Amino acid sequence: MNRCRPVALAAVLAAAAVFAWLVAQPAIWQRLLARFAPDGVTALYPTGTLADFVLAHLVLVGVSSGLTIAAGLPLGIFATRRSGRPFRPLIAAAVDLGQTFPPVAVLALALPALGFGFTPTVVALFLYGLFPVVSGTIAGIEEVPSAVLDAARGMGMAPRQVLMRVELPLAARVILAGIRTSVIINIGTATVGAAVGASGLGVPIIGGLVGSQNVAFVLEGAIPAAILAVLADLLLGQLEAAVSPATGG
Amino acid sequence: MIELQELTRRYADKTAVDRLSLEVRDGETCVLIGPSGCGKTTTLRMINRLLEPTSGRVLIGGVDAATIDPVELRRGLGYAIQSVGLFPHLTVRDNIATVPRLLGWDDARIGERAEELLALVRLEPAAYLGKYPRQLSGGEAQRVGVARALAADPPVLLMDEPFGAVDPLTRERLQIEFARIQRELHKTVVFVTHDVDEAIRLADRIAVMRDGRLLQYDTPENVLDHPADKFVHDFMGADRALKRLVRVRVTDVLEPAPRIRPGEPVSSAEPPVTDGRMFVYVVDAEDRLAGWVDGREMAAGRSVEEATTRVDRAVAAVPGDATLKEALSAMLGLGFRHIAVIDAEGRLLGEVGFDAIDRVLASGDARRAGEGA
């Protein structure tokens, strides 16, 4: 497994590079999607290039997932601390609610306060993606055997040392799995941002569905979004394997 | 020295430890024993402040533990627990290095210390330093646990059923090894167990606890011979006399063993063979036990070579640091009234017989009889 890792990683990176190149080739997409476009209509959504949409999508996902991780990881850690344990049910319920609420509903609710465009979309995606990160962090840390924690404390590790040297390394794999789930959900969900005017791969999809009923537009957004999700899954899978603690088996 | 003064820990619904006072002298092993829920583990955890006492004090070397920062306090007290609690993501070397790292030792010193400790707990350093805990057997993991507790050479060791999670055979071996290590290192040890045999084997003094209270704190001999009350009496078990045998080493009751070398007549045995004795040990040129000859066969005119029963030393003899209990069980296994005692190189040191065991058992009876008078 360890010996295969560089090869697998290289393969994933190569696939990502091929995709990046492909995104910048409108001629290929035009030819590919032309048969799905109604006669005499262009197959590619006219308001921007595919590269623009992919880039905007990545920014949307990057910012919202970044915020999700930046907030979710400390929140999950806090819920497992002695001082935060009383808040655990509250935190769990809150992030659960965040995921129960459909992002479209969050968008609708956010509109009056945040207006149209990028910001409300990021807020909706941030809330929606929080659950897997927080619950993964809590689960990963709580999975650390109590005897291991007892030994760590009993030998004189300070609480921060127990967290950094024992709990987080042992929980890393489960935490990363939560982040991976969150990011992948996010890549798909980010397309709804187009409904409130955020750019991204949702723009051709919504455009194809609502205005012109052009299947080619829908596919121009949907296919790259799907590929992005798969690539992110593979990449984060590699990362997960890399941070998994060696245990000699 | 560790001194517990009126140590008490109360929970909402019960008192786990109730005004417990005792003293553990430097270099002594104090074993806390009692049925589960008697408060022995709670007591141990109050010593290194994993639990805070409701009232009472713990003095370590005369200093009130409550005045020491708990993290600092714990770095000075070795700690080993039942489920071992080895860090699964760290190698044996890094596990042992835990406390030295916290204390800021440099890497070379840590490496040296790890090797030294593995040798002490009889694990081949080269083979084990790089292993991960899940690659170890239960017994090996316990050994590493003990090595880790000893890493920074703390004067005090706190051990909570450190050999609890292994099979009885491995457990006994670990106890014997720990007794050996303790004879070398003279740590001040507080050891929690519910295993009477373990307590008797390892303790300088046994503290018998029940429902949070200390019932008796005395040497194993006295706890066996003069139990404070019926509970202690029953807890120590009906085979108390037999348990005394664990307290005596074969070297303490060693008798000279008649021996000859191949080619020598039985009559030349040193010391001479007395009437009624049926056999003589046969040793090689280096005095290593090779076997024995039966006197009757010699009388029938056969040579020593012909008459010698060659034996496997591991089965037919016990080492010098074995207890009388092990000697007795070896004798019963062989069906003999004597067992040879050998040193690490296999040299014949002497022998132990049923009569020695008889005397040890009788001395316990005498003490009990004296108590009754």
Torsion of CA B326, B327, B328, B332, to 10 degrees: 100
- Decide which of B297 and B206 is more confident: B206
CA-based nearest residue to B161, from B88, B215, B219, B80: B80
For residue A149, list chain B residues with Cβ-Cβ distance below 8 A.
Answer: 85
Write out the DSSP string of B121-172.
Answer: TT--HHHHTT--GGGS-HHHHHHHHHHHHHTT--SEEEEESTTTTS-HHHHH
CB contact under 8 A, B74 and A152: no
Give yes or no for a contact between B149 and B79, defined as CB atoms under 8 angstroms apart.
yes
Contacts of the segment B275-278: beta carbons below 8 A, 24+ positions apart: none
Band (B301; pLDDT cuts 50, 70, 90): low
CA atoms within 13 A on the CB side of B279: 15
Rg of chain B over all Cα atoms, to the nearest angstrom: 24
Sheet holding B259-260, edge to edge: B259-260, B279-283, B289-294, B309-310
CB contact under 8 A, A247 and B132: yes
CB contact under 8 A, A249 and B98: no
Q: How far apart are CA B32 and CA B46, in angstroms?
A: 13
CB contact under 8 A, B72 and A156: yes
B133 inside 8 A of chain A by CB:
yes
| Phi, psi of B336, rounded to the nearest 5 degrees | -110, 165
Q: Give the per-residue pLDDT at B284.
A: 86
Q: Which of A155, A157, A246 sits opposite B89 (nearest CB)?
A: A246
Q: Give the per-residue pLDDT at B373.
A: 35
Task: Give just the sign of the alpha carbon dihedral A88, A90, A94, A99.
Answer: positive
Q: How far apart are CA B301 and CA A168, in angstroms?
A: 78
Task: Give just the sign of the alpha carbon dihedral B172, B177, B179, B182.
Answer: negative
Band (B48; pLDDT cuts 50, 70, 90): very high
For residue A151, list chain B residues with Cβ-Cβ distance below 8 A.
Answer: 79, 81, 84-87
Task: Give just the sign of the alpha carbon dihedral B10, B13, B14, B19.
Answer: positive
pLDDT-flagged residues of chain A (< 50)? 1
Q: Which of A149, A157, A248 sits opposite B131 (nearest CB)?
A: A248
Choose the most confident range, by mean pLDDT, from B178-182, B257-261, B304-308. Answer: B178-182
CB contact under 8 A, B87 and A148: yes
CB contact under 8 A, B50 and A169: no
Q: How far apart are CA A71 and CA A125, in angstroms?
A: 13
| Residues linked to residue B3 through DSSP beta bridges, in sequence order | B23, B59
CB contact under 8 A, B134 and A166: no
| Residues linked to residue B283 through DSSP beta bridges, in sequence order | B289
Q: Give the per-residue pLDDT at A78.
A: 94
The whole-angstrom distance between A155's CA and the closest CA on chain B is: 5
Sheet holding B317-319, edge to edge: B317-319, B338-342, B348-353
* Contacts with B, A 61-100, CB within 8 Å: none
A243 inside 8 A of chain B by CB:
no
For residue B88, list chain A residues with Cβ-Cβ distance below 8 A.
Answer: 145, 148, 170, 245, 247
The rounded mean pLDDT for chain B is 87
For residue A161, list chain B residues with Cβ-Cβ distance below 8 A.
Answer: 102
CA distances from B133 to A240, B127, B129, B315 (A): 22, 13, 10, 32
- The token pair that represents A215 in the structure block: 């299947």
Q: Give the per-residue pLDDT at A1.
A: 44
CA-based nearest residue to B95, from A169, A151, A150: A151
Q: How far apart are CA B231 and CA B54, in angstroms?
A: 27
> For the segment B306-324, what is each residue's pLDDT rounded down to a tens digit?
778 888 887 888 988 888 8
Nearest chain B Cα to A158, which residue?
Answer: B71
For residue B83, list chain A residues with Cβ-Cβ distance below 8 A.
Answer: 145, 147
B69 inside 8 A of chain A by CB:
no
What b-and-e string marks burial along A77-115, b requiring 16 or more CB atoms within 10 Å of the CB? Answer: bbbbeeebeeebeebbeebeebbeeebeebbeebeeebe
Write out the DSSP string of B206-222.
Answer: EEEEETTEEEEEE-HHH
Nearest chain A Cα to B102, which residue?
Answer: A157
Q: Which of A148, A156, A246 sits opposite B75 (nearest CB)?
A: A156
In the A/B pair of chains, how many CB contacts fall below 8 A?
A: 78
CA B166 to chain centre: 15
Q: Which of B50, B85, B99 sits opposite A147 (nearest CB)?
A: B85
Query: Which of B87, B93, B160 to probe the A interface (max A CBs under 10 A)?
Result: B87
Q: Which of B85, B148, B149 sits opposite A150 (nearest CB)?
A: B85
- The token pair that represents B165 in the structure block: 């999670």
For residue A166, list chain B residues with Cβ-Cβ distance below 8 A.
Answer: 87
Q: At a CB cut-off of 8 Å and minimum separation 6, what does B208 contact?
A: B33, B34, B214, B215, B216, B217, B223, B228, B231, B232, B235, B236
CA atoms within 13 A on the CB side of B90: 20
Instruction: Given the cut 0.90, state whether the ipTM is greater than it.
Output: no
The whole-angstrom distance between A65's CA and the closest CA on chain B is: 28
Pairing of strands B289-294, B213-218: unpaired
> For the segment A20-58, what is each residue's pLDDT rounded down to a tens digit?
999 898 889 888 888 888 877 788 888 888 999 999 999
Give yes or no for a contact between B58 and B87, defined as CB atoms under 8 angstroms apart.
no
CB contact under 8 A, A247 and B71: no
> For the segment B207-244, what is each residue's pLDDT rounded down to a tens digit?
999 999 999 999 998 999 899 999 999 998 877 778 88
- The token pair that represents A212 in the structure block: 């012109």
* Contacts with A, B 157-216, CB within 8 Å: 158
Q: Give the per-residue pLDDT at B58.
A: 95
The whole-angstrom distance between A247's CA and the closest CA on chain B is: 5
CB contact under 8 A, B87 and A156: no
Q: How far apart are CA A206 and CA A116, in angstroms?
A: 16
| Phi, psi of A46, rounded to the nearest 5 degrees | -80, -20
Q: Which of B71, B73, B85 sits opposite A151 (nearest CB)?
A: B85
Q: Give the per-residue pLDDT at B34.
A: 93
The whole-angstrom distance between A178's CA and the closest CA on chain B is: 20
Q: Give the per-residue pLDDT at B193.
A: 94
CA atoms within 13 A on the CB side of B253: 24
Nearest chain B Cα to A248, which residue?
Answer: B132
- The token pair that represents B338 in the structure block: 């004597």
| Residues linked to residue B338 through DSSP beta bridges, in sequence order | B353
Q: What percent of chain A is predicted at pLDDT more than 70?
A: 98
B142 inside 8 A of chain A by CB:
no
- The token pair that represents B175 in the structure block: 């106890």
Give yes or no for a contact between A170 and B89, defined as CB atoms under 8 angstroms apart.
yes
CB contact under 8 A, A170 and B132: no
Q: At a CB cut-off of 8 Å and minimum separation 6, what does B162 contact?
A: B80, B81, B82, B84, B142, B145, B146, B149, B174, B178, B191
CA distances from A195 to A52, A198, A216, A224 (A): 17, 7, 18, 18
The rounded mean pLDDT for chain A is 89
Pairing of strands B317-319, B205-210: unpaired
Mean pLDDT across B86-113:
93
